[in-house]
Structure 1
Amino acid sequence: MKSGYSEGMQSGDNARTPGRCDLHTHTQASDGMQPPAENVRLAYEKGLAAVAITDHDTVSGVAEALEAGIQYGITVVPGVEISTRAGGKEIHVLGYYIDTQQELLLSRLEEQRNTRLGRNEAILEKLRGLGIKITMEQVLAGMGRELKPDESVGRPHIADELVRLGAAVDMRDAFDKYLAEGAAAYVSPPRITPEEACRWISEAGGAAVLAHPGIYGDDELVRKIAQGSNLRGIEVYHSDHGPAEHRRYLALAEEFGLIITGGSDFHGARQGVVFHGDIGSVNVPTAVLEQLKAGRS
C-alpha cells in the first residue's frame, strides 16, 4: 500500500488538525456553488494545509484558486474530474498535478463538455416529456451569473431549477425522481473509458485516481478498472463512503499498490443543504501530495 498513514478522517473528526488536505472539491467552473477562491478561503478557515480543485471536465477554475492559495498561504492542487463510462455505469476519474495549460488536454476536455451539453439538452427534453416546462435558458438564468468560457452546466444546476419550479422538494428529491441513474429523466451519453481518462491524465503529466468507488455499487468493475488502467490511486475516503467501504478499498489499495486518497466532494450548499460534504469534512494527510507527485507519469 502506497501510504504514509493508516486512515482518513470523516465528519466528526477534528478537521482542523494541521497537515491535512481535502482532495476533492468543485467550484462554479463546473457544478459547484462557490468561485474557486472561495473554496480556498473555506479550506483555510477549516485549518486545512491543502485543497484540490477538481471540477468536472474543466480546469478553468485552477488559476484563480492558485492565486488564492498564495493569498491564504495554503497549497492548491491543480486537478480535474473526468467523466467516463464502463460496465454500464458513469465512472469518474480524478487527475492531480496535471499540466492545466497543455493544449491537448484542453481540447480533450472541451470535447467532454460538448458531450455534457448534449446530455443536458436530452435531459431537458425528457423532463418536458414528463410535463415539466423547463428550458436551458431557465437553468442558466437560475444560476444568477454569466457562464464563463470553459465552464459547464451540470445536473445540480438542472436540479436547482426543478426545485424552483416545484417539481422537486429539494436537491435529493430532484435526483431521486429525475436525474440519478435509473430515474425518469436520466441520460447517459457515450463516454470515453476510464482507461482513456487515465491515459489523458498521464499524458498531461498527472496522476490518475479512481473517484468514490463505493458509489458505483460494483466492486468487480472497480477491480477490473484497477487491473486494466494506469491508475495511481483510489479515493478510499469520501463523503458517501462508510467504514465498510473504507475497509474494502484499503484492501484493494493494498492489493494493487494504489495511493490512498480522500476528499469531501464539496459542491457547496443548495437549498441550505451541503451537497456530498463540507470542505474538510473528509481529509487525508498532506503526505499523500508527495505520493501523487511521485506517481505522475
Structure 2
Amino acid sequence: MNQTEGRCDLHTHTRASDGMQSPADNVRRACEKGLSAVAITDHDTVAGVLEAMEEGGRCGINVVPGVEISTRAGGKDIHVLGYYVSCSDEKFLNRLADLRNTREERNVKMIAKLQELDVQITMEEVISGLGRELRPDESVGRPHMADVLVSKGYAKDMRDAFNRYLGEDAPAYVSVPRISPLEAIEWIREAGGTPVLAHPGIYGDDDLVREILEQAKPAGIEVFHSDHGKAEEERYQAMADEYALIVTAGSDYHGARQGVIFHGDIGSRCISVSVLEQLKRGSADN
C-alpha cells in the first residue's frame, strides 16, 4: 500500500489565484502522489474548483471545494481557509469579488512603490507574465510580481524578491483595509462551509493566534503546514486540543517558480481523509 493512501492535502493553489498550475494539474499531481483527496483553496476565489472537481471525477480522487480568504488583525495579514463552501452562493461570490478588488488596489499601490524604489516594472508586465488572459474571477498576487522581479534581475529568486521588496516588512509592501477574521469566518459559515485558521506559525504571534481562536471561533486550525517545524506542530496541536478544534494539514502548494516549489509540494503535508467528515459537519470529534 502506498503510504499516502487515505491521506489528503488540504491547502493548494492554482493559477486561479497565485499558483502556477491549472486546477486539473493540481488534481493530477495529487493522484500521482497517491493521495485520496486534495483541496483547492485559491485566494479570494473559487474559480478553479469546478475544473478540479471534473478532473477529480476522471482521476478517482476526492476534490474538496475551498477558498483562502485574506483578512487583517493585530497589524498582520491573517488567512482563513474555508472548506465545503457553496461555489454557487451569489452573496458569497460577490463578497469574494470585493476582496479581489481590494487585492487589485493593493497591487497597483505596490507597483507604484516599486517604481519609487527605481524598480522598473509595470502591472502590464505582471499580467503579461501569466501567458494567458486573466479571467474576471481570477486575481494577480505578489508571487506574480516576484516572477517579474526575478526575470528582470531585481531579485535572484522568489524568496529574495519577498525579502527585498514584497514581504510584510519589505519597502514595497502595502497594507490595505481588509475584513477581520471574524467576518471571514461568518461569510464561510453563511456559504455553508467550515472555517479553519491557516498556517498560524507564519504570523509569529501566538497571543494573536489565541485571540483569533477565542474571539472569531474558527472550527479548525492548520497544524501541519510546509512552513511549520516540529515545535510549531506540537504547539498548535496542543492549541487544537485545548480549543477542541479540527486539525488540518496542507502543503500550501503554489507550483514551481525558478525551479523551486513554493511553499511545499502537493502531499508534503497530509492528514487522514477521516478529517473530511469533520469538515463537512463543522466540528471536531468529541
Query: TM-score of the superposition, structure 2-length normalised?
Result: 0.98
Aligned-partner Cα distance in 2 for 1:269–1:15:
25
Distance 1:15 1:193, change over 3 A: farther
Whether 2:103 is the aligned partner of 1:116: answer yes
Calculate the aligned-residue CA RMSD, in Å.
Answer: 1.0
Deviation at 1:149, TM superposition (A): 2.2
Equivalent residues in 2 for 1:14-163, closer than 5 Å: 16-163=3-150
- Structure with more contact order per residue of length (Cα contacts < 8 Å, sep ≥ 6): 1
2:183 aligned partner:
196
- Gaps of at least 5 residues in structure 2 are none
Aligned-partner Cα distance in 2 for 1:202–1:31:
25
Aligned-partner Cα distance in 1 for 2:25–2:3:
18
2:194 aligned partner:
207
1:247 aligned partner:
234
Deviation at 1:28, TM superposition (A): 0.4
Query: TM-score of the superposition, structure 1-length normalised?
Result: 0.94
Aligned-partner Cα distance in 1 for 2:97–2:2:
35
- Gaps of at least 5 residues in structure 1 are 1-13
Give the secondary-structure state (helix, strand or coil) at the position aligned to 2:129: helix
The 8 Å contact of residues 72 and 180 in structure 2, kept in 1 or not, is answered as yes
2:262 aligned partner:
275
Q: What amino acid is the match of 2:209?
A: V
Give the secondary-structure state (helix, strand or coil) at the position aligned to 1:149: coil
Which contiguous aligned blocks of 4+ residues in structure 1 show a shift greater than 3 angstroms?
A: none
The 8 Å contact of residues 213 and 235 in structure 1, kept in 2 or not, is answered as yes
Deviation at 1:15, TM superposition (A): 7.7
1:169 aligned partner:
156
Aligned-partner Cα distance in 1 for 2:54–2:217:
31
Q: What amino acid is the match of 2:18?
A: D
Deviation at 1:17, TM superposition (A): 2.3
Aligned-partner Cα distance in 2 for 1:162–1:124:
11
The 8 Å contact of residues 4 and 33 in structure 2, kept in 1 or not, is answered as no
The 8 Å contact of residues 15 and 280 in structure 1, kept in 2 or not, is answered as no
Deviation at 1:16, TM superposition (A): 4.2
Aligned-partner Cα distance in 2 for 1:97–1:230:
18
Aligned-partner Cα distance in 2 for 1:21–1:251:
21
Count of paired positions: 283
Distance 1:247 1:198, change over 3 A: same
Aligned-partner Cα distance in 2 for 1:243–1:194:
26
Q: What amino acid is the match of 2:157?
A: D
The 8 Å contact of residues 58 and 109 in structure 1, kept in 2 or not, is answered as yes
The 8 Å contact of residues 240 and 276 in structure 1, kept in 2 or not, is answered as yes
1:3 aligned partner:
none
Q: What amino acid is the match of 1:220?
A: D
Give the secondary-structure state (helix, strand or coil) at the position aligned to 1:83: strand
The 8 Å contact of residues 210 and 235 in structure 1, kept in 2 or not, is answered as yes
